[in-house]
Amino acid sequence: MLFSSIPFLYYFLPIVLIIYFITPKALKNTVLLLSSLVFYAWGEPRYVFLMIATVLFNYILGILIEKTRGKSLSKFFVILSVVASLSVLGYFKYADFFIKNFNTLTGLSIPLLKIALPIGISFYTFQILSYTVDVYRGDVAAQKNPITLGAYIALFPQLIAGPIVRYVDVEKQLVKRTHTFEKTAFGIQRFIIGLSKKIIIANTLGQLCENFHSADDKSVMFYWLFVIAYMLQIYFDFSGYSDMAIGLGKILGFDFMENFRYPFISSSISEFWRRWHISLGSWFRDYVYIPMGGNRVGKIRLLINIFTVWFLTGFWHGAEWNFIIWGVYFGILLLMEKYFLAKHIKKTKITKHIYVLFFTAISFAIFAGSSMKDALVNVGGMFGYGDIPLISESAVYNLRNFGFILIIAMVCATPLFVKLKEKLNTNRKIRHLMDALEIPLLLILLIVSTAYLADGSFNPFLYFRF
């Protein structure tokens, strides 16, 4: 089930919220767990049992890790949790990748397993690891109630697309949450904005990307148009889902971390990654980079640490070489920026932004490929490789048809409207007018988004890849 679907918006969510708010506090986590399992089983009926088994296994390990803390057994149990969790993730997500590469190296023809990827497994695996590792470190106490732990791991608002919520951040909220009118109102507003970003902007840009893939007359202009559209599609799709998750969390009494903070206004690649997929970046920092020594090591070790983190960041996104190269590409850029490029891009803000957007666009050309070969074709096409024309009829046609939404997307990818609203709010009369218009505008966005869905418009689910 997707947030951006009629069944979720008008059947599942209203029923769950009604049951949740009329249920006594002691049973609210039970409602969350059961509704989350129903939500997951809607699209993955087989794998809901895998999730239940995962919850129970790590529930037991969490208690054992705490009981044996300070002993070698505690380390054994946390390693068991890490190995088991990553093995399950590796089997479902990466088995065929390793088989294909093994066949290529050896010349053998071992058949692929062709296993369906459980939705959201990359996200909830990292949440499980944050729990057991933090229990081992002594940062949190082991959860004694399996229903509470299950509600955390399976929590449907952020189950399939993040943000990656750490147990330490919601430990107290799992036991005691505050529900206020202001919090609920903010949650509804955030959810509708996220839904609109996904349905109205991301899905429309996705249609442009589909047109590119089906076109026969590729050109340099069309490749750039495609990469820019894809880059914005990923941003509005992913940040839209994060907004919806954060909004639903607020309605249910949770405070989830922000996952995106206008990354395209960044003045450096390092700033871009402080603003893009924040929960993933901070997870790798705290559970991989810092335990390896972070930047408190020699230059050679630092290079190894950075390479490892960005290799894993790329590999987390998908079982293809282009994802790995995408991650390593950013790692190399960050190293170049740290030791060389930063000295040469300090002249003006415009220069910095152009530098970030240019190299980010190339990264998304790599990311957009279904394979490494496809990624190289995308990058080559941006610079005219293969004797393709500069302009094509399809490029002009799609620019004419999608130009307006591209401009809207570019503007909305900046904090322009937020800053404008803040400025206007200083005038009391205008602030009252804006407050009065807020609800009608949100209703219009909801109606338009619903109309798109009811019309059966293009509505891809990008996270199947992850």
Contacts of 228 (CB under 8 A, 6+ apart): 361, 406
DSSP alpha helices (H): ranges in 68-120?
Answer: 72-106
Cis peptide upstream of residue 24 (ω within 30 degrees of 0) = no
In angstroms, the CA 17 to CA 31 distance is 10
Q: How far is CA 424 from CA 418, 421, 428, 429, 432, in A?
A: 10, 5, 8, 9, 10
Contacts of 255 (CB under 8 A, 6+ apart): 170, 173, 249
Please state whether 260 falls in left (phi above 0), alpha (psi between -120 and 50) or beta.
beta
The count of residues in the chain is 466
Nearest residue to 3 (alpha-carbon basis) of 277, 240, 214? 240
Side-chain-side CA neighbours of 187 within 13 Å: the count stands at 20
Alpha-carbon dihedral 445, 450, 455, 456, rounded to 10 degrees:
110
Q: Which of 179, 277, 317, 353 is catalytic?
A: 317
Helix, strand, or coil (residue 113): coil
For residue 161, count other CB atoms closer than 10 A to its CB.
25
Q: How far is CA 138 from CA 70, 133, 170, 347, in A?
A: 10, 9, 16, 46
In angstroms, the CA 164 to CA 157 distance is 11
Nearest residue to 144 (alpha-carbon basis) of 26, 59, 82, 75? 59
Query: In the 8-state DSSP scheme, what is residue 24?
Result: -
Specify the amino acid at residue 345.
I
Whether 317 is catalytic is yes
Structure tokens at 340: 């060389």
Phi/psi of residue 296, each to 5°?
-95, 35
In angstroms, the CA 77 to CA 303 distance is 30
Nearest residue to 48 (alpha-carbon basis) of 160, 154, 161? 154
Residues with a known catalytic role:
317
